[in-house]
Amino acid sequence: MGALGYNIFADMYGCDASILNDVEYLRAVMKEAARKGNMSVVRTIFHRYEPHGVTGVVIVKESHLAIHTWPEYSFASVDIFLCGTNSNPYEALKYIELKLRPKKVYTNSMERGMAIEYERIK
């Protein structure tokens, strides 16, 4: 048995601060990223904080994409979590990078739920 899910984390530094505070722009970027990654959008939830910053989640049939922004630091944190093998999270991430235009990006990924089989055979 393989992993139950796959998680990609990206820290994006040096983004345009005005983009990171624009809820509707970020919603459109994240929805299109889901489509580019062959995911089916179910719902979006975005919130703008005062005086700045946005948190947004795009719920997809395959799981979710999330973004958290700190315009005051020109920083965005992106998480993409997927179940199944029909989607391409790296295409989604590539699109987000294109639209946020960070100067530096650090990514990490991990398989989730690998201990399920181990727990069953104990």
10-residue mean pLDDT series, the chain (122 residues): 84 96 98 96 97 97 96 98 88 97 96 67 56
How are strands ordered across the β-sheet holding 54-60? 41-48, 54-60, 63-70, 75-82, 5-13, 104-112
Q: Please spell the DSSP secondary structure of 60-117, one letter per residue.
A: ETTEEEEEEEEGGGTEEEEEEEE-SSS--HHHHHHHHHHHH--SEEEEEEEEE-THHH
Among residues 18, 47, 63, 87, the one annotated as catalytic is 63
pLDDT of residue 84: 77
Examine the residue annotation and report whether 109 is marked as an active-site residue of this protein: no
Domains of the chain: 5-121 (3.60.90.10)
The per-residue pLDDT for 2 is 73
Q: How confident is the model at residue 5, as a pLDDT?
A: 84
Question: Does 63 participate in catalysis according to the annotation?
Answer: yes
pTM above 0.85, yes or no: yes
- Point out the catalytic residue in the list 40, 52, 68, 87: 68
Taking the CA atoms of 16, 33, 78 and 55 in sequence, report the sign of the dihedral they define: positive
